[in-house]
Structure 1
């Protein structure tokens, strides 16, 4: 921080609740007094225009009133103001005020007063231009080398440059590749305009090029051929900044140092008129505004830079010469010459603090008072510390846990009858409550500080008996899966004890499950080998049983102390059965799109018939309806029938997506057993094949899964390092839309399974040590799950859809 402060010479606070910005401050001899003394002109977004002539009366109320020459309330917000020769056949200075939809040019005149109240100033409108487009900023200068008067150029919010020569409109041009407006400045030395585009590059356009370019009556695509005569507008030169520019400035006080200054968000640039860089200064702070001004050293330029830490720094090129503290963050800074003092720094804040200051130091006569040195009484300090610690413990003990809310969420087709529960206030303190539940939720030490709202999350597995019941085994089925282990056969009744009481096979070699929707899944254990067969007539419904069987095998052998337990799947992968679910889901998506198109057509037809009927009814002379009422009824019936069909198709699509998700989980599980994938690799594979939790009309599973699988094939599953490096160097990609068919997707999934089977390594980082994004690492990180016995199960609603097609996992969120 600077040891010096900007010395307050004159200051004022303008209005209440008004807002100011970069273009709301300008200085100049706006009243043409002829003395060469500047006036300070301030405009606000509230439309208030004020003109001051500061003097050394400090900031007293009388001083502010005496210094204010004029205060006028305009109808529109003031975006920017400039002082120049804007009236033809006149050498006097006038004030140009830019509004969002209007450009006004005023003359400021003063009349000598005959009484003690002083002179009287008036603001008269000379001419104005109504703008067809919303203005952003403007610049002025001697466009085209014309001397004696100034022309104006306004940049609109949609990228059009509008040129005005005094009271007439000249022409307008659209900037190529425009997205958002940037700073705009005119360089009189090269007769060109400088701006910063949305591509974060400085662009220069010559006035001559702009004048002969295509007329901008309406915005055109730059890739299309020209509709009117003229040349396509291209910049004379560009310079890539790599950051957004806050302001541009082209000093005109020294032609020897032909420089263009650009203030970026993190850097200060100085360029020559031809776009070559002279120097660049990396800033270690966030700047707010800047102003180049003349230097006493030849070949150098001084700069005032305002920053967001209430500082005003003075640079000579790249060397810091001075730093001063301001009472606010400046949004605009100017240098003025007043009658009593030359070179005054005028700064303005966003809330209306106007300050005229100068650099330097004033002597300070403050002396530090002497403090009587006395020895500390350690016994008294120790007693006071114990008293404060006792008070803190009492406050913590009296802080009782407030009412908490618990939110429960399950995945479809399961649902809960009540998803939110309000817990009554607990008698124990917050600290005791957090310490008790930290054993279940595994909280960190930073979570145990009371007084701050907390959110806890716990995932748990629902019991299998919630979605299926024991049944009689089925011998002939369509789909079969065999899981092998390296341990002796296990009695299935000990693996599934909740189903053993109603099982028909007391030997424990066969166990059948029947889901609430009616689908049956049978598990057969071999008596002589270490194989287990899962079979069913529904491919998707087998996933839940296979997953539960594998998890219970892990728990069973872990309790027995077996450390080398392994499970595997010998194949082949049931890809054709899996692709049946993919095709069924895709056909329903196509039907949904067709229903949407038909509904749009019928709705347009319905509205057109309504308009014609309304015209007939409003007609003073009755005319026959020509069966329009019959056509309206028929169209309405078609709209309702299509809406009902679309709603039915939507329900089928939701069910098909649940079935597809279950089939995908089964395929991932079989792949992990087939190749012995690690939990991290299984998580990557699951995130690839299931990138969406829900289907939407804008983004579906097919295109999302195809993009993810294609990325794996081009990166970690690529055959050659060259293809892998080429894939990592690519940026962006095509827009994801509904494909025409599923052939490409099925081909990519088959190729991915083939490469994994041949030893492909699933990893998020390439062999070139590519940095892995943190959010992708979190996505692929395997989570821990706790089996929690909770009374929630009584609130779970048993739906008629097959629960085997859902993940039996719930979530509980606590918040207090």
Structure 2
């Protein structure tokens, strides 16, 4: 258990679905005695908080109250950044500047005091507004040019143009050289210069006077980019996440702190490196301040760790409850120095760094005299135990499940889904709650809990991560249907990956079933359907009202007790029938994809009902539905090829679009450019082709997603039916690994390519008809499938040979063993039951000779024309 903690004493959260970034939070006095918190969201909502943290009777703080929200203003456009400064001529007070994508607005906070706290009135009054000609990225405020008692504004656009505003009027604008993407921009008062980063990952500084002269020399900053001389440059070697400037009042120096993707840099005002710190994590944001000539840097990592550095020395680290995207320091009336954390979804916390003291005081012990002989023997035994523990594999020695107890619980009560997803015209729109409890018996360095379901089911959140886990945790996730498609399986699996303090990795896996009411609804049963599956059990039949009580209508139970109807998320319906005179269950539907989850539920409930019967079996004697499954495969193959063609077409028109752009740039740079109407027409026409190709590709990808789900349902159905056949367990393991319901088409290798290679391997090894076929080398390469005829042949052969494997195994022909049995030599007259052992070298030699003989015989038949040029299988 860590001693260092982050203590929250004031917390609030945005009421709407808003998003924030590192420029959405500032802390400033804003014409008051103490600091206030100003937040701005991308939804255009501006808030000003004045936390009133008063002590209560139990020694804590009051926390958030509605009176703490001073101003809440909704703007018409998103807010990119907020800042404060003296932005009105002749007014010594501080104003608030708000940057929108196409405008810059300056507000003044007006406050009217009331007789009580709830009678105070505050509002923001617009002082002036600037319309921007280009889309803005960020801005910075400062006394440019050494002016006194007033501040100017510099706005950086997305295309690298700096626009300068001297309060109510725009002065000039200039384009930054070597610009690619907007980088953090800051201003140094002491040197009157701007610091940013260019496309070469260099920290570069420009004097304000140089920028002013460049803007006066060239009237158009786009078509005539000036060659500006930088004051200094520093090769950073990585993209800067944030750049901040801090002034050391004691030494009268200014330091530039740059937070990179992998390192922390501190530069002087002249670009000289003071120190550098290599980070072993991914930083998110930072805040800097100076105490007694020492630079303190607060950094948050992607694992929700808050780390405090004094120069390059780590002084404090603690785990935060949220992942902040922006942080700052604040000085309140009752708390002199606190931290403000803002998360991406709008949670705002005021906290301080504290410790968790231990109130346990060990009682005094009567220490006896030390027996050195006994202590030496105990030390030797301990050293031997430690040595043995390092020599033995820790994963085999420690019981992981005892060290970390994982409890999985699925709530059977479904709720109305509150998540935004892509579901359209689905039969149901529900979600169920999944609770995971972790109870560690010792400390773990890292613990990650992943929740898996099959598409179109979706889990939110699907991953939970903890570092330095020492206390019990209760996790919650929600499962819902993301698309109006049939679900292959309702199985839910969690995988817990953990690393102990010794660096040893472990894994825990648990499975459970989701409630059927999440996706299936009761409907009227149908008499005739296209697809039928019949199951037989060796026990007395159980009524459907007992197996599926949630789908039986009590009022109509007597009218149709032996049939129930189920409707899936796609709207397809299925029926379960119970024979009146035999122990048979029939599943039928017009859609084969729906039968997967219906069959899964029937098998699960039958086995649960006959759990006490040791000889209970479910028998499937019919043939496997290979033609119906292959229809899904053919449809998936056709749509996949169409997606491939559309991607190639989109790549071609994009390449053409880039060539036209390069030609336009060449024309722009010419001293006497010719007419651009033809290129403009060609550019518009190509852009329209790109939009059309992208739209077609998007619709075809949606169709491919549906084909993948339907194929996944068919494969899971085949997998369940194979498990009901009376075949060898080893073969069932092979088939389950091949008929996996996860259908993925990765770049360069489709599902059919991998499936065909797996089918060929089965047909040439464990499912070979004769021993001669087994002697042929198995296929190990994966080739792209261009013709479905060969794939259909392999697929049909595997499904046809599955029911025959039981008889083949009983014939003892060696098809299911890794080594070929060698018959004893009967020439000496000994009995046939006598076993003659041969040296292992003789066995290998005989095996190789037979293999060579079989290959020569095959080649001779091929050259003489005796045999046909059939496939090897």
Q: TM-score, normalised by structure 2?
A: 0.45
Larger Rg computed on CA atoms: 1
- Say which structure, 1 or 2, has more relative contact order (CA 8 Å, 6+ apart): 1
